[in-house]
Amino acid sequence: MIRKLQAVALDCDDPARLAQFYAELLGGRVVADPEDSDWIEVHGFEGTPLACQRVDGYQRPEWPGQQRPQQLHLDFDVDDLDGEEKRALALGATVLERTDQLRPEANWRVYADPAGHPFCLCFH
């Protein structure tokens, strides 16, 4: 039986930049192996660690298009949607959709991290 999910790995072209983005967004820390700059992890926050993995020829996902599908996205619970959006944008995220402003029943907004991976901030 599998004991636990060890990490979620995100492909990218710049693992150091992406790991720093998520470390700051989540209040975690970057854990890098000085002998392997192609794999950098983010630890020290509640939840499964994230890993950022360099991929040659990386192409950013398109959202909502499907030419280069997102393949996965991350959802983060927040207590202050506006405040966390402001912080995420200052760290380098971009807004893809303010879903809560389009549909009154929605409690989330969709963003892209600096490597283009979609993620959601969800108010709970």
The per-residue pLDDT for 2 is 65
The per-residue pLDDT for 70 is 80
pLDDT tens, residue order, the chain (124 aa) = 767 888 999 999 999 999 999 999 999 999 999 999 999 999 999 999 999 999 999 999 988 888 888 888 899 999 999 999 999 999 999 999 999 999 989 999 999 999 999 999 999 7
Sheet containing 94-97, strands listed edge to edge, beginning at the edge strand earlier in sequence = 74-78, 118-123, 108-112, 94-97
Terminal-to-terminal C-alpha distance of the chain: 32
